[in-house]
Amino acid sequence: MSDLKSKFLEVYTALKSELLSDPDFKFTDDASEWVEKMLDYNVPGGKLNRGLSVIDSYILLKEGRELTSEEIFETSSLGWCVEWLQAYFLVLDDIMDGSHTRRGRECWFRLPKVGMIAVNDGILLRNHIPRILKNHFRGKPYYIDLLELFNEVEFQTASGQMIDLITTLVGEKDLSRYSLPLHRRIVQYKTAYYSFYLPVACALLMAGENLDNHVNVKNILIDMGIYFQVQDDYLDCFADPEVLGKVIGTDIQDFKCSWLVVKALELCNEEQKKLLHENYGKGNSACVANVKALYNDLKLEDVYLEYEEKTYEKLMNSIDAQPSKTVQEVLKSFLEKIYKRQK
Ligand code: GPP
Ligand code: MG
Ligand code: MG
């Protein structure tokens, strides 16, 4: 494991201890034990890309100068705030989506002892973020900006989740509403802001930058986030479940406005469209298999590979048009991390 990653994980342990001795709540042994288990189950088990990106971006912004131990602790803490936010979203999203597995294990709410306590655990995870920020950033000139950033991004993500959910309302299932612009709108809000813009924005604030001066960076990161979610949609259907860590394919059953179904609607003939309308969004495995067979007939894997190449090229061109070499490096390091990802 890289040195930075092991330091990052040490900071998790430190932040967890602080939260478990929060002066605003008297912890009993039961309560500590619950929160500790809940955190260990939901916060650190992912790829940690978002959290580590805060540190990576900050290092690049500091142009390779070695970070002080204070800077390492602070960038790591902000990285963990992003991971906490993600944990909060995923615990609740898995309930809403009726998912079974996440990161290679049962979803938290599926554990017999947990059930709907998971809803409150999600709220707790969310509340831990301002606790961490207060403990470590209250004296910083950018404290208010950080709080506002997390608030803004949470609002955008919940709004994206809302449009994701209401497009799948039972009784109003209407595939003809699904289009690339709707897909873009959903994923921009539910994924791109918190996964791509937020980590870089945290690093920029720590480096003393004003976020209003980085609108172009934001737009490129949003486009990268959209590309990332197209990958997610593709992997939901085509990935190796062993590699991905979650059971393949709730998107078809859940009637999701996935990039795949949008592309299928664009490419299909009348007969195939009828098949799609009859089989999409049904729990029954024969219907799911029919949809997947149609995706194969339409060669969606190839369509995806072509999309991936083109998007990479376009993003690289916009990055190269950025005036600052340092900013270019931050953006490129992000893009390289996700290009052709398998999980
Ligand atoms: C996951 O999307 C959704 C989010 C991370 C946002 C949740 C927002 C809330 C306010 C709860 P997904 O359901 O498409 O992804 P996955 O396949 O990982 O479940
Ligand atoms: Mg989900
Ligand atoms: Mg979802």
Q: Is 55 exposed, middle or buried (0-12, 13-18, 19+ CB in 10 A)?
A: buried
The string of pLDDT tens digits covering residues 69-103 is 999 999 999 999 999 999 999 999 999 988 888 99
Ligand 1 atom 13, closest CA? 93
244 band by pLDDT with thresholds 50, 70 and 90:
low
- Flag whether pLDDT at 182 surpasses 90: yes
Is the distance from the beta carbon of residue 93 to the nearest atom of ligand 1 less than 6 Å? yes
Which DSSP string do the residues of 285-330 spell out, in sequence order? Answer: HHHHHHHHHHHHHTTHHHHHHHHHHHHHHHHHHHHHT-S-HHHHHH
How far apart, in Å, are the Cα atoms of 136 and each of 130, 209, 232, 336? 10, 19, 34, 31
**How many Cβ atoms sit within 10 Å of the Cβ of residue 228?**
20
What pLDDT, in 10s, does the model give residues 109-153? 999 999 999 999 999 999 999 999 999 999 999 999 999 999 999
CA of 232 to the centre of ligand 2 (A): 10
Distance (angstroms) between ligand 1 centre and the Cα of 187 equals 10
Residues 180, 186, 192, 198, Cα dihedral to 10°: 150
State the sign of the Cα–Cα–Cα–Cα dihedral 149, 155, 161, 163: negative
What are the tokens at 326? 């340092």
3 pLDDT exceeds 90?
Answer: no
* Residue 146 · residue 133 · CB < 8 Å: yes
3-state secondary structure of 91: helix
Q: Phi and psi for 106 in degrees, rounded to 5?
A: -55, 145
Q: How far is the CA of 104 from the centre of ligand 2 (A)?
A: 14
Give the Cβ contact number of residue 126 at 10 Å.
18
* Burial per residue of 301-315, b for 16 or more beta-carbon CB atoms within 10 angstroms, e otherwise: eebbeebbeebbeeb
Domains of the chain: 1-139 (1.10.600.10), 175-342 (1.10.600.10)
- What spacing in Å lies between the alpha carbon of 171 and ligand 1's midpoint? 22
Give the pLDDT score at 208: 96
Atom of ligand 1 at shortest distance to CA of 229? 14
Please state the three-class secondary structure of 106-144 as a single string: ECHHHCCCCCCHHHHHHHHHHHHHHHHHHHHHCCCCCHH
The ipTM (two decimal places) reads 0.97
Q: Please work out whether the CB of residue 157 comes within 6 Å of at least one atom of ligand 1.
A: yes
Q: Is the CB–ligand 1 distance for residue 97 below 6 Å?
A: yes
Q: Which residues are CB-contacts of 150 (< 8 A; sequence separation ≥ 6)?
A: 81, 85, 129, 130, 133, 198
CA 310 – CA 301 distance, rounded (Å): 14
**Measured from the CB, is residue 123 less than 6 Å from ligand 1?**
no
Read off the tokens for 60.
């690049």
Give distance in angstroms: CA of 338 to centre of ligand 3: 20
CA 154 – CA 12 distance, rounded (Å):
21
Surrounding residues of ion ligand 3, Cβ less than 5 A: 93, 97
d(CA 35, CA 100): 22
Ligand 1 near 89 CB (within 6 A): yes
Distance of CA 145 to the CA centre of its chain: 21
Name the residues around ion ligand 2, CB cutoff 5 A: 93, 97
> What are 254-308's pLDDT values in tens digits?
888 999 999 999 999 999 999 999 999 988 889 999 999 999 999 999 999 999 9
Give the distance (Å) from ligand 2 centre to CA of residue 97: 5
pLDDT at residue 192 tops 90: yes
* pLDDT at 171 (0 to 100): 64
